[in-house]
Structure 1
């Protein structure tokens, strides 16, 4: 049954949630790293800079739609800065394709002292929320922030135009109400967060990524800026402007909801503001804007959820913002007249303008309450309080299907020393937590907690911190939601960088280590190598280890692969090993006195696949060359050592010339590594390994338990893996060795049904990674998990790299 609400009853009750003051913390201040400006260095507003002007581009895909082309944005902002002291524009970064990223702040002018006071208040709300929300001067004079993120999907243009329209209006208006608005607010605009796609008319950026799936991986420069703004601006409301869904779609979302959110503090504002935007759309008078689609109100669970924190709104919600996806209603693309394209883009721009202005109106109408509730999220974090049990009917339409909560542990420890699976991965994970707004400490000496002893230098994450939601969302295993929903808007349904990024992370449910802690602001790893003239062993457990190996091979060092997948570099190459340690921060140990291994040549990988395959190979340092069915004869040449099949390659459909090139490659013993369902399909068609591949449902995704059998691919590997439509292997022929299997209870977190031919019960105990050597000498590895998916599961990259080395 659809969850319908009557508009007349949907004004959510605005409750002031009381409670004890946040627990004191020794280093509550400052909330920002030392690299951030000190209060004394903060300048007043406006902060204006002349933006470089780009050459005219007549091929800009914006032009046929009737919206502003990219090359006209900088001149427009420069003119507005010249004419108004309310506008401050800057180049805040560079896109993947090399375009400037523009951030604009619109506010009433501030003296240096006033700007510094605003910064103190912004930090105080997070660091001492009880004091902040009872500070009468703060409540009177704090400029509440609004963040508008426009055009994250490049071919959804109109958010940029709405932002520029609002900026121009507020910059030039003589209306006293606008002057008052800008004295009480800061409006921060990411003008076009995907200029590559805006110019090219593509959803993705120039690197090929959907940026609105990247907010906890942050693999792209554009999402790095979005994350920085979401963390630093601390917006009361965040608007992510999209298209095209008819009628206009407005968050809040359906369940499943991310289990780490203080959802009571969100939904009581998110729903009434959405209803206010809906009324504003009706007031536009267009037939196409007389209703809106609010998923929380109108859709079944799972249709448009806010579960994974990979989207701008779901990430922002974990930053204590009230976020919205706004999907304008009219698609201006395709075979339309020029006049119709212009009409549609004009209505869409009006829609986004309404969303911006109505959200500002909501902030002003409920100013004290929204400040209080943003601070309340932080207060609960400091105090370590459990998530609230939200009663049915808390807002109209709230019911048991919306109840998604987690239990917060007291702390996490990321060990140093021998218990750490990968020191490089640990440092990378710490950087992710810090960049996402979390706080991390380092132990000054060894300590004992949870029945274990930890060495000095271990990282400690005290979950009594203001942004515990995002920290815990990244570190906890996650939730198995299979039995709760039959649909999801998109995967992953489980992510857990704590389990899939290759670092050892221990959960302490009731303990905070009793040891002196120092606040840290970046993850540090130094690497190491043994003393003396011993040969050097490197246990490959991270992409950094693979980069070091590939650098050594390129430098001419002799590298030997061991039976367990580690490598040994003789002492004669110590100078090169030392350089690799300095560059990649990896740790070599002393090789066994009596070792033997296979000499490894520099490996060239031909890959059939998209940007994930390309960039995973780049992350791991392999020399790579894209191969397609149409270019096999030209690209699968004698220097290619291993073929990575990450998308469909059917030998039966090749031209005679390309089929001959493939046959010649396999005849000379070329290696093959196959991923997902494409890999085993190619292997079977080419007559390589004899296996039966089974695929789970397309929706199945998350974190799985695995059992590693050891060997060159999985020796020492982490006991968890990541899936996005899992594959498992049965009917294994002679000579096929299982390196990894799904555990008896495969799914740890995510969604994967049971009780069907595609169910997780069918995969239980079955092979996830297999290898074998053909009669022609081809080393073949098939991997049914997902080591390249959106560059997400970084802890699996070492398994892929080991497979390439073994097969090549």
Structure 2
């Protein structure tokens, strides 16, 4: 097997100082194009004067020899002034407020022509059989190409290649270019990560790798990419990266996402990759005389397209033919200025070749590409099973490539008492619709699958055009442990249907027969009981935690019950605060038990050791949070900190005397501790807190796991599934340690979890062992250790309530 190539550089947080943000910073981005009524569609060009950013001599692009961020808007403004083929818009803002530019290059269109193009685009998805036999459509439809550039900030050259192509096609008088723009729309996300481009970091300004966020959509930049992937409906998608030598060209090795119509992808993806490879050879550089095409050149698992979190894997589920293009020459590091410029110049040429060769492929195979994109949608509407792709279908296709799933007939996301969390259900519906799926809502009560459902329940008919992405988000997933021995990256299982906190029922053979209407978003109203009654809130979602923290911040008397729920005793003031919490967070209070007993809560201040995921999960759940590091304990772990969240390394033995004294003082006054992953139990043991032995699976072990909830303040009422990205479990539990959650007898439901070569760290060792434990030390410190992953990339939102309940208990 070839050695797996590691991703370059770790994510880093961007700190921006001294920026003069243009006055438009509070303007809202435009409505997503897929939501625009046909009658509101205007012609091309659609030109806008982009605000210009001040000169920044510290832009990390400058030493590389590529365009600085502040020169992009002036260049696009100049091109719009001189060419009617270029339309640029401010399409959103980055994590720290930089403008995101989307550029469309095409021949001018009247309003009527643009509306006809929009009708055809929708027809291909809505009525694929009719669309692909429409002679006028086949002759005049402008096939879209989408170029996503610079998603990793310190992989710059995709932006420069995009601008080069935009400028050439804007100004060329070549009849071939004029003909190409009459038959195509080229859509460019010019710099998908301006924060990272300026700072020279892989991550955006919030510290996230954006190319891991497509089905989580936690970042504004990813929201735009998803909008474009769904709304543009590109025939081909190019995601421009660096640096892998020789140039890497997707298609990828197995595992393949089990929901893909892979026969319709690989028949085009492989020959176009070969065409790009030839174009690279034709450049004449010694460094571009070969390419690495993982499907052709690598062993399974080396560079996969399995999880839908990447731009290409998400786009493939949108019926596009996507590519990761990794330019070959790293311009970073200890190089002369001349060598940096030479390398970035070659990389820019490589990306330009990828764009132009893909356009050539679209022209040469236009009708077949339209037919096959429509065929994906047709199969979805018809509910046909995935195809059995025979060995040798394309050179190299074999049994190792056979990844398929069975589609159920429908899913139901219940309303009413059977729904674990109405807020989570609405959030899941938003994710499905935002990802291109279609969801309906029942207007009346109904029965299906032997169960009764109230009006308002959501119905997901899997006979729909983008069933692949919908099912990928909702189905449990597949255990691929025995199929691959290596993975490029996790997660190997995801299932927002099981890990986002909502109840989702699978109907294998049945579509509910009830009057329903298609919805555009998830709706939840929340409520509270009438009359002078005490209010109970069962904390099962981040929204519930935000509501509790708002109540505490407003001075409400909030009591935590033994099962982790909270009660607010009635008063006129409490009723006003509860009503405000319901309006703000859409949560639902119920009448408290007649004789309840609980612990009075105070506002909780959390000091956390860890990265951006811990920071942002605390923000999502409404806790007042303070970053703590081993070097700053003396100044940050002060008397108002109630709980220490250990989500990163904190070794008491390595602290300075001053910082160790601050930690000792915190523990001496009874401060609580919540520890995550391996860092939490390591700190607990070093500090002499809970007596446990922690074990960890392999670093790439990840997925959806079956768990058994024992009840108690952390897991009472919790969902029966969890998420792991390197599972951790606990044995050797000391006196007074209580198990709140354990791994089931068959832990892994979906994902990859193999033992280490010596046989340790596997599922068999974790089966039945503790996943969440709690206890109180002799000094009075309440401690919770969590071996699952409630903060990983903000992914498993259904676990956030468990973390929040642990923080309340430990406080």
3-state SS in 2 of match to 1:482: coil
Alignment correspondent of 1:782: 785
Alignment correspondent of 1:290: 289
Alignment correspondent of 1:16: none
1:445-497 Cα shifts (integer Å, max 9, x gaps): 11111010001100000000000000000000000000000011100000000
Gaps of 5+ in 2: 4-30
Structure 1 window deviating more from structure 2 (746-755 vs 158-167): it is: 746-755
3-state SS in 1 of match to 2:529: coil
CA–CA separation in structure 1 for the residues paired with 2:711 and 2:462: 35
3-state SS in 1 of match to 2:550: helix
Alignment correspondent of 2:760: 757
For the aligned residue pairs, the C-alpha RMSD in angstroms reads 1.1
Q: How do 1:535-574 residues align onto structure 2 when only pairs under 5 Å count?
A: 535-572=534-571, 573-574=574-575
Instruction: Report how far residue 517 of structure 1 moved.
Output: 1.1
Instruction: Report how far residue 37 of structure 1 moved.
Output: 1.7
Asked if the contact 2:698–2:755 (Cα under 8 Å) also holds between the matched residues in 1, the reply is: no
Asked if the contact 1:33–1:521 (Cα under 8 Å) also holds between the matched residues in 2, the reply is: no
| 2:280 equivalent to 1:281 | yes
Alignment correspondent of 2:690: 689
Alignment correspondent of 1:701: 702
Alignment correspondent of 1:769: 772
Instruction: Report how far residue 34 of structure 1 moved.
Output: 11
Alignment correspondent of 2:587: 586
Alignment correspondent of 2:113: 114
Alignment correspondent of 2:734: 733
3-state SS in 1 of match to 2:739: strand
Asked if the contact 1:150–1:191 (Cα under 8 Å) also holds between the matched residues in 2, the reply is: yes
Alignment correspondent of 2:719: 718
Q: How do 1:443-522 residues align onto structure 2 when only pairs under 5 Å count?
A: 443-522=442-521
Asked if the contact 2:32–2:227 (Cα under 8 Å) also holds between the matched residues in 1, the reply is: no
Alignment correspondent of 1:238: 237
Q: How do 1:111-150 residues align onto structure 2 when only pairs under 5 Å count?
A: 111-150=110-149
CA–CA separation in structure 1 for the residues paired with 2:620 and 2:421: 16
Alignment correspondent of 1:186: 185
TM-score calculated relative to the size of structure 1: 0.96
Alignment correspondent of 2:266: 267
1:255-313 Cα shifts (integer Å, max 9, x gaps): 00000000000000000000000000000000000000000000000000000000000
Flag the 1:609–1:465 CA change in 2: closer, same or farther, 3 A.
same
Flag the 1:504–1:33 CA change in 2: closer, same or farther, 3 A.
farther
Asked if the contact 1:159–1:349 (Cα under 8 Å) also holds between the matched residues in 2, the reply is: yes
Asked if the contact 2:2–2:302 (Cα under 8 Å) also holds between the matched residues in 1, the reply is: no
Instruction: Report how far residue 801 of structure 1 moved.
Output: 0.1
| 2:317 equivalent to 1:314 | no
Alignment correspondent of 2:363: 364
CA–CA separation in structure 2 for the residues paired with 1:40 and 1:566: 50
Asked if the contact 2:33–2:231 (Cα under 8 Å) also holds between the matched residues in 1, the reply is: no
Q: How do 1:346-495 residues align onto structure 2 when only pairs under 5 Å count?
A: 346-495=345-494
CA–CA separation in structure 1 for the residues paired with 2:662 and 2:94: 38
1:675-711 Cα shifts (integer Å, max 9, x gaps): 0000000000000000000000101000000000000
Instruction: Report how far residue 754 of structure 1 moved.
Output: 4.7
Asked if the contact 1:536–1:569 (Cα under 8 Å) also holds between the matched residues in 2, the reply is: yes
CA–CA separation in structure 2 for the residues paired with 1:675 and 1:569: 30
Instruction: Report how far residue 97 of structure 1 moved.
Output: 1.2
Asked if the contact 2:438–2:464 (Cα under 8 Å) also holds between the matched residues in 1, the reply is: yes
Instruction: Report how far residue 2 of structure 1 moved.
Output: 7.7
Asked if the contact 1:499–1:720 (Cα under 8 Å) also holds between the matched residues in 2, the reply is: yes
CA–CA separation in structure 1 for the residues paired with 2:33 and 2:608: 43
Q: How do 1:194-343 residues align onto structure 2 when only pairs under 5 Å count?
A: 194-343=193-342
1:57-111 Cα shifts (integer Å, max 9, x gaps): 0000000000000000000000000000000000000000110000000000001
CA–CA separation in structure 2 for the residues paired with 1:2 and 1:287: 23
CA–CA separation in structure 2 for the residues paired with 1:489 and 1:41: 44
3-state SS in 1 of match to 2:109: coil
Alignment correspondent of 1:19: none
Structure 1 window deviating more from structure 2 (475-484 vs 746-755): it is: 746-755
Alignment correspondent of 1:92: 91
Instruction: Report how far residue 359 of structure 1 moved.
Output: 0.1
CA–CA separation in structure 2 for the residues paired with 1:33 and 1:235: 15
3-state SS in 2 of match to 1:571: coil
3-state SS in 1 of match to 2:58: coil
Alignment correspondent of 1:670: 671
Asked if the contact 1:550–1:602 (Cα under 8 Å) also holds between the matched residues in 2, the reply is: yes
CA–CA separation in structure 2 for the residues paired with 1:427 and 1:41: 28
Instruction: Report how far residue 531 of structure 1 moved.
Output: 1.2
Instruction: Report how far residue 33 of structure 1 moved.
Output: 9.4
3-state SS in 1 of match to 2:396: coil
Alignment correspondent of 2:746: 745
CA–CA separation in structure 2 for the residues paired with 1:342 and 1:238: 27
Alignment correspondent of 2:603: 602
Instruction: Report how far residue 40 of structure 1 moved.
Output: 1.3
CA–CA separation in structure 1 for the residues paired with 2:285 and 2:665: 64
Alignment correspondent of 1:798: 801
Asked if the contact 2:101–2:189 (Cα under 8 Å) also holds between the matched residues in 1, the reply is: yes
Asked if the contact 1:264–1:388 (Cα under 8 Å) also holds between the matched residues in 2, the reply is: yes
1:534-567 Cα shifts (integer Å, max 9, x gaps): 1000000000000000000000000000000000
1:708-734 Cα shifts (integer Å, max 9, x gaps): 000000000000000000000000000
3-state SS in 2 of match to 1:282: helix
3-state SS in 1 of match to 2:35: coil
1:385-425 Cα shifts (integer Å, max 9, x gaps): 00000000000000000000000000000000000000000
Alignment correspondent of 2:17: none
Instruction: Report how far residue 39 of structure 1 moved.
Output: 1.1
1:43-62 Cα shifts (integer Å, max 9, x gaps): 10000000000000000000
CA–CA separation in structure 2 for the residues paired with 1:741 and 1:177: 65
3-state SS in 1 of match to 2:155: coil
3-state SS in 1 of match to 2:578: helix
CA–CA separation in structure 2 for the residues paired with 1:492 and 1:525: 30
Structure 1 window deviating more from structure 2 (746-755 vs 112-121): it is: 746-755
3-state SS in 2 of match to 1:553: helix
TM-score calculated relative to the size of structure 2: 0.96
Alignment correspondent of 2:36: 37
Alignment correspondent of 1:11: none
Instruction: Report how far residue 647 of structure 1 moved.
Output: 0.5
3-state SS in 2 of match to 1:325: strand
3-state SS in 2 of match to 1:694: strand
CA–CA separation in structure 2 for the residues paired with 1:96 and 1:455: 40
Asked if the contact 2:697–2:755 (Cα under 8 Å) also holds between the matched residues in 1, the reply is: no
Instruction: Report how far residue 148 of structure 1 moved.
Output: 0.1
CA–CA separation in structure 2 for the residues paired with 1:35 and 1:525: 24
Instruction: Report how far residue 185 of structure 1 moved.
Output: 0.2
Instruction: Report how far residue 36 of structure 1 moved.
Output: 1.9
Gaps of 5+ in 1: 4-31
Asked if the contact 2:32–2:231 (Cα under 8 Å) also holds between the matched residues in 1, the reply is: no
CA–CA separation in structure 1 for the residues paired with 2:661 and 2:338: 53
Q: How do 1:170-181 residues align onto structure 2 when only pairs under 5 Å count?
A: 170-181=169-180
CA–CA separation in structure 1 for the residues paired with 2:192 and 2:338: 27
Instruction: Report how far residue 35 of structure 1 moved.
Output: 8.1
3-state SS in 1 of match to 2:493: coil
